[in-house]
Amino acid sequence: NASHRSLVDLSVGPTLTVTCAAFRAHIDRLLEIPGARVLFGGNELKGHAIPSIYGAMEPTAVFVPLEQLMVGCDAPLAKGPGPNVDGSGSPKLTNFQACTKEIFAPFQVVTEYTEAQLPLVLKALERMHNHLTAAVVSNDQAFLGKVLAHTVNGTTYAGIRARTTGAPENHWFGPAGDPRAAGIGTPEAIRLVWSCHREIIHDVGPIDKAWTQPPPS
């Protein structure tokens, strides 16, 4: 899917706050973890004219084994840009801090788990600094119930057709939803978000046999 994205149709584009060098540094830090590997991407976009003060990287995914991802889970949570992203030279992030570090770029960390490892996954979700949009992609009602009951994410999609991305309904932007006037992180926004009910959106199907994945947008 990532390979279908292109500058031609603007389904991939520049990142405003993560340069190519910072993007690569983040990948390199994750690849220091035993068993980690790049699943796709990891390269600069070809044939672009994007200034170097911005990022121009392919959509990228890095796989990290769950047990390695959890190393350092109980350490204080990292805040701010952190090392190996902006080159600040601050203390090196633990595996967990690095894997759960959010960068505003087309990047994701992938792992896998067994049924017996579900408690580790729930612990990881609890320890993350941000509890934003999430998805539980399954039609197993017992599994859905357990995960939804033991997580505190805001807007959560659940079911076999759960959207793994989407605008979180409980985020607070500015007038008419304009993100340039966002109040995210302010005391008022926190009160507005956490004083309302948790939004869980179920989409269990069925999936039409003629369904095909739409073009990237």
**pLDDT value at position 85?**
43
- Average pLDDT over every residue of 58-73: 96
Q: With 90 as the cut, is the pLDDT of residue 29 above it?
A: yes
pTM of the model: 0.81
CB 134 within 8 A of CB 156: yes
- Average pLDDT over every residue of 46-58: 94
Q: With 60 as the cut, is the pLDDT of residue 69 above it?
A: yes
Tokens 């046999």 sit on residue: 209
Q: Which sign does the torsion angle of CA 158, 170, 154, 132 carry? A: positive
| Mean pLDDT, the chain, whole residue set | 84
Query: C-alpha distances in angstroms, 64 versus 7, 119, 159?
Result: 29, 17, 25
Q: Helix (H, G, I), strand (E, B), or coil: what is residue 107? A: strand
**Residue 106 burial (CB count, 10 A):** 19
Q: With 60 as the cut, is the pLDDT of residue 130 above it?
A: yes
Helix H or strand E segment including 188:
helix 187-194
Cα atoms in the Cβ-side hemisphere of radius 13 Å centred on 37: 2
The residue ranking higher by pLDDT, 111 or 188, is: 111
